[in-house]
Amino acid sequence: MATTSLWAIRGRIDHAIEYIENEEKTAEQVIDYVTNGYKTGDKRFVTCINCNMFDPQKSMIQTKKLFHDESQITAFHGYQSFKKGEISAEKAHEIGVRLAQELYGDCFEIIVSTHLDRDHMHNHLFFNSTSFIDGKRFCNTKKDYRELKNKSDELCKEYGLSVIKNPKNRSQKVNYHRVKSYIKDIQHEIDVLVDYSATLRTLLDYMAIKGYRHERIDGEDYIYHPYYQEPIPVKSLGENYHFDHIRERLSDRYIMIQEVAHLSSYVKLKDYYKQYKSKKLTGIAGLYIAYFISEGVLPSPKQRLSKEAKQALHKLDLFTKEVDLLCHYQIENINQLDTFQQQMQEKLDELIKERQKCYKGRMKAKSTEDKDKWSLLAKQFTPDIKKYRELIKASERIRSRSFDPELEKQARKKIKSRDER
């Protein structure tokens, strides 16, 4: 037995893919949620159709650029859930791949992912809204959903699985719980963004970046969730999330004039700045500091923490981690960076392999006590896995900036100016 649903994705594809692969929603924010290691058995149950398995969003974005498709709906996200205990992960994934291939495989780039994190197996189907064959767009009509459901039922029968006889009531129940989870997502985003926004307009702009959309219909405010095509009334979010109350929450925040040097990231970066000035910081790290100086990040006087400043401080945190990495591991050039990243990847792969053994042990365990023991063992690997993933991501950010000729030119000009003094 399998329940199905299909909805549109609005906003940038890479944001959607990140959400789908997101580790906080799986084992560690739509492609990272879908292909997350914990949910998918460390990506053993992830299949890419018609796109690069290492960088699927790049394939999808290139298709859109090729056909000049700038429509708001960028992709579609389908869901196929099986009855508890009725099917193995391997069979569920096989059915999901066949479902995607037979319905959309002739025209669209697709990611199929089977999640193992619940007590029931379920597949996620994420596919480009633009055809790589002719640039035509998928419409997601009622007919399309019926075809999805009918094909799913057909495959379930073929594999000897049960089929829902009265899907109408079941569908209403699934939709209710889904909407409830989307409301919680919106509430969470507002709570977080209140601290980073000066006005309601700014907050809504930030939400739009994450794929949410605000619309006013017949005098009422609505929010569209990135993975749900129906508008959700703002009044259904609760009194604390009505726009008038959000304005009050924003006005209650007093943006103080603070010295940025009090922030830990700035303090640490300022130490590196001193080393740079005394010509002790060389290689990529020196280029980084030179770039910060040219951008006005260093040295910094007292600043008002506006929304722009807060965005800059977030970048500053990332930059600090990157300079930390270069200095701590004494990385002087790109070759050393490549070697370091390879070493971190090998350590990460080994830890993931060990954690996977724990997941297998948990799946085979019969008693709740044994399952809990395996879960605790698996959790012990999470901090180190997170650490190595952050180091690998920082390495990738460093490489992307290091190969930017404009940034390097800017930084080298600043170094030349320093040396001439």
Residue with structure tokens 């509430």? 187
Do 238 and 323 belong to one domain? no
The first and second tokens of residue 45, run together, are 């149950």
Q: What are the pLDDT digits (tens) for 333-357?
A: 888 888 999 999 999 999 999 999 9
Do 283 and 310 belong to one domain? yes
Q: State yes or no: pLDDT of 74 exceeds 80.
A: yes
Do 72 and 209 belong to one domain? no
pLDDT band at 141 (very low <50, low <70, confident <90, very high): confident
Residues in the chain, total: 421
Do 207 and 308 belong to one domain? no
- Whether the CA torsion 326, 332, 337, 339 is positive or negative: it is negative
Q: What are the pLDDT digits (tens) for 345-394?
A: 999 999 999 999 998 898 888 888 888 899 899 889 989 998 999 899 88
Residue 116: give the domain boundaries. 2-165
Do 38 and 158 belong to one domain? yes
Q: pTM, whole model, 2 decimals?
A: 0.41
Cα 182 → chain centroid: 16
- Domain edge (last residue) among 111, 133, 165: 165
Do 114 and 192 belong to one domain? no
User: What is the rounded CA–CA span in Å between residue 262 and residue 420?
Assistant: 31
User: What is the rounded CA–CA span in Å between residue 76 and residue 91?
Assistant: 23
DSSP labels for 156-201? HHHTT----S-HHHHHHHHHHHHHHHHHHHHHHHHHHHHTT-SSHH
- Whether the CA torsion 159, 160, 161, 163 is positive or negative: it is positive
User: What is the rounded CA–CA span in Å between residue 281 and residue 269?
Assistant: 12
3-state secondary structure of 80: strand
Do 214 and 267 belong to one domain? no
Do 135 and 234 belong to one domain? no
- Domain edge (last residue) among 217, 252, 287: 252
Contact 25, 11 (CB under 8 A): no
Q: What are the pLDDT digits (tens) for 259-287?
A: 444 444 555 566 666 777 777 777 777 77
Do 62 and 107 belong to one domain? yes
User: What is the rounded CA–CA span in Å between residue 250 and residue 278?
Assistant: 44
Do 310 and 416 belong to one domain? yes
Contact 164, 141 (CB under 8 A): no
Do 363 and 394 belong to one domain? yes
Q: What are the pLDDT digits (tens) for 9-43?
A: 665 565 555 544 443 333 234 555 555 544 444 44
**The total number of structural domains that make up the chain:** 3
pLDDT band at 166 (very low <50, low <70, confident <90, very high): low
Contact 297, 312 (CB under 8 A): yes
Do 242 and 355 belong to one domain? no
- Domain edge (last residue) among 221, 236, 252: 252
Phi, psi of 78 (to 5 degrees): -105, 160
CB-neighbour burial class of residue 323 (10 A; exposed 0-12, middle 13-18, buried 19+): buried
